[in-house]
Amino acid sequence: MMKYSLKYSLIFLIVLLAGCNVGKNKNETIPQDETLFPKGDKIANNNFTGTAWVQMMVSNDSTYNTSIGNVTFEPGARTNWHKHPGGQILLVTDGEGYYQEKGKPAQLLRKGDVIKIPPDTEHWHGAAPGKGLTHIAISPNLQKGSVVWLQPVTDEEYSQSTK
């Protein structure tokens, strides 16, 4: 009788320890709020409203004529209106935000979305009012010229487009 009791106690102990190990391994995995690419530096110019961060991943050169940056917007943050002579492609990697072309309704952006912005098309992109947004911005054909910055997206325009 004692033998069985000891046997089951040992089994129980082994199961318990295995359970602890599973927990330990879980804690060693990458936290969910960890981003795929670095957040980079806070953007310190007047081309954005609110707080945004950028990490340049590929700098322009004469072989590719393309720059690639990882951009993170805090809730409510957005670019000014602007246009790209060579167009732009956005790959949304996290959060929730909006993309809007002048004169059109804003489009909701979610993780996994791909946005192709035609050349010389006035637009803005940024976070949702209550949620941050991270996207990779690919700017190709830079031999045609770099981004042309325009006026800020006013609070009125932003709240109209994101409600």
Q: What are phi and psi of 71, to 5 degrees?
A: -115, 130
The contact mask relative to Mn ion for 134-163 (x = CB under 5 A, - = no) is: ------------------------------
Q: Identify the CA nearest to 81 among candidates 139, 124, 127, 115.
A: 124
Q: Helix, strand, or coil here: 163?
A: coil
Q: How many residues bind Mn ion (CB under 5 A)?
A: 1
**What long-range pairs does 51-58 form, CB within 8 A, spacing at least 24?**
51/77, 52/77, 52/79, 52/126, 57/136
- Report the site for Mn ion in 87-106 (rule: CB under 5 A): 88
Residues 49-88 as x/- pattern, contact with Mn ion by CB under 5 A: ---------------------------------------x
**CB 118 to Mn ion: min, Å:** 11
Given the complex with Mn ion, which of 6 and 56 has the nearer CB atom? 56
- State which residue has the least CB distance to Mn ion: 88
Q: How far is the CB of 54 from Mn ion (least distance, A)?
A: 12
If the CB atoms of residues 146 and 160 are measured against Mn ion, the closer one turns out to be: 146
Angle at CA of residue 103, ends 100 and 107, nearest 5° = 25
Query: Of the two residues 1 and 81, which places its CB atom closer to Mn ion in the complex?
Result: 81
Q: Between 25 and 45, name the residue whose CB sits nearer to Mn ion.
A: 45
CB nearer to Mn ion: give 15 or 114: 114
Of 86, 93, 79, 85, the closest CA to residue 161 belongs to 79
Task: Report in angstroms how near the CB of residue 28 gets to Mn ion at its nearest.
Answer: 38
Spatial separation of the C-alpha atoms in residues 132 and 116, rounded to whole Å: 21
Q: Which tokens belong to 149?
A: 């910055």
Residues in touch with Mn ion (CB under 5 A): 88
